[in-house]
Amino acid sequence: MSNANPDVRMIEALQGDGKGPPEPDLQPVAGDERIAVAPTIQALTPYEAVSSQAAIEAQPDHHTSFKLDWNESTVAPSPRVSEAIADYLHNGRGLNWYPKLGSEDLIEALEEYTGVSGDHLLATNGSDDALRLICSTFLDDRDEVVIPVPTYNHFMVFAQSRGAEVVTTRGQSAFDPNLQGIASAISDRTRLLYLVSPNNPTGVMYPPEVVARLCREYPKTLIVLDEAYYEFTKVTGIGLVEQFSNLMVTRTFSKAFGLAGLRVGYLAAAPSLIEGLSRIYNPKSVNTLGQVGAIAALNDLEYLESFLAEVRASKEILAKFFQERDVNARLTPANFVILRMPDVDAILQQLEERGVYVRNRSSYPGLEGCLRMTVGTTAQTERLLDRIGDLF
């Protein structure tokens, strides 16, 4: 009989009988049997991650395409990011080691950037990871979550995956903050309220005074303020986390900083909430290059500011262009515009024929006939309008 110690058994298995590696134990897999998805997950509607990336890469002249469908930055990040990553690869500790736990150095850099102390901050694998962590920590079966719509739908999936009941509220106009609707939707059972400011895709804002009022009015509700597009407005509720212990603010390096590919985000909240999150937070969740890249990006805020200025100037060019052509265009405070078109499907197809990829948002409540387009630099905008000008 084999030794009961599992380590010894493993060594025996590796050694085999001295005639080479042991034969794998090939059992036939039963035909139709499938492992069922948990009922809670089966019941939810998955987030539709439709990206033009594959379509663009399939084209021979793909480098001239305009990828304007995911609100990423349209330019590379600060050159300091690639310098810091290259330097790390040559002289750093090496990729064989796990990353710095809890992204310690990044948190230090974020203290300065956000003005919030480190015990209020947690670095995450993109802000989606922060949103998911919040839902996993604070939501359970049948908890009620209020979400004004239309907004970033991925959060709904994170909440529903916990078995929470999502109550959506829709204003008279999609471009209204719908504070009345939020007040009517919130009940004693509401565990969480999700707000995006500026909102994707409408650009609606929830300024700090409004957020503070909501925190005061609903002390038993956790308010999650998603500031993925904060840099484009510089309007923030992040300082309020030092005042309210029912507020969490999430942010990302994926948009204005141009680091979507590295997956780095963070959240800010009262230490009591951070303590709760820490119960399941993975301190290895931000990879080493992500940490190095994000710190380098924070060390070059001049570069960030020059990109933000480009986006502002581009929006002026676009506003003038659409105004002159009587196109129903809404320039949001973030890096995207919403266009309402009489025949949105036809225009989407014509744009794609010209290598311009935008996001169809016409199925969202209150956004019938609407598409969302990312805004880039002025040079890119001029080139874009040269290419699509005849369509409007």
Binding-site string for ligand PLP from residue 147 to residue 166, where x marks contact by CB under 6 A and - marks none: -----x--------------
How many CB atoms are located within 10 Å of the residue 215 CB? 22
Q: Least distance in Å: CB of 183 to ligand PLP?
A: 22
Site residues for ligand PLP, window 207-266 (CB under 6 A)?
A: 226, 228, 252, 254, 260, 265
CB of 6 to ligand PLP, least distance (A): 39
Provide, rounded to whole angstroms, the least separation between the CB of residue 66 and ligand PLP.
17
Q: DSSP code of 268?
A: E
Which pair of tokens denotes residue 297?
Answer: 């990006």
Shortest Cβ distance from residue 158 to ligand PLP (Å)? 10
Query: Nearer Cβ to ligand PLP, position 197 or 246?
Result: 197
Please report how close the Cβ of residue 51 comes to ligand PLP at its closest, in angstroms. Answer: 11
User: Residue 133 is encoded by which pair of tokens?
Assistant: 């962590």
In the complex, the smallest distance separating the C-beta of residue 372 from ligand PLP, rounded to whole angstroms, is: 10
Three-state secondary structure of 162-220: CCCEEEEEECCCCCCCCHHHHHHHCCCCEEEEEEECCCCCCCCCCCHHHHHHHHHHCCC
Phi and psi (nearest 5°) for 85? -70, -45
Task: Report the interhelical angle of 378-388 vs 301-324 (nearest 10°).
Answer: 30
Number of amino acids touching ligand PLP (CB under 6 A): 13
Distance separating alpha carbons of residues 225 and 155, to the nearest angstrom: 12
Give the contact letters, 178-207, x = binds to ligand PLP (CB under 6 A), - = no.
------------------x---x-------
* Contact between residue 131 and residue 157 where contact means Cβ atoms under 8 Å apart: no
Phi, psi of 187 (to 5 degrees): -130, -175
3-state secondary structure of 55: helix
- Considering the complex, what minimum distance in angstroms separates the CB of residue 342 from ligand PLP? 27
CB of 146 or CB of 388, closer to ligand PLP: 146
| Count of CA atoms in the C-beta half-sphere (13 A) of 209 | 0
Other CB atoms closer than 10 Å to residue 352's CB: what's the count? 15
Cα gap 131→156, rounded to integer Å: 10
Judged by CB under 6 A, the stretch of 55-63, 126-134, 234-242, 351-359 that binds ligand PLP is 126-134
Find the part of the chain contacting ligand PLP (CB under 6 A) among 102-110, 122-130, 158-166, 181-189.
122-130
Does residue 128 belong to the site contacting ligand PLP (CB under 6 A)?
yes
User: By CB under 6 A, which span of 52-60, 120-128, 140-148, 272-280 interacts with ligand PLP?
Assistant: 120-128
- Cβ distance to ligand PLP smaller for residue 158 or 388: 158
Minimum Å distance from CB 188 to ligand PLP? Answer: 28
CA 379/CA 392 separation, integer angstroms: 20
Contact segment (CB under 6 A) with ligand PLP among 22-30, 43-51, 125-133, 303-311 equals 125-133
User: Whats the size of the chain, residue-wise?
Assistant: 392
Site for ligand PLP in 274-333 (CB under 6 A): none
CA 373/CA 339 separation, integer angstroms: 8
Interface residue list for ligand PLP (CB under 6 A): 71, 126-128, 152, 196, 200, 226, 228, 252, 254, 260, 265
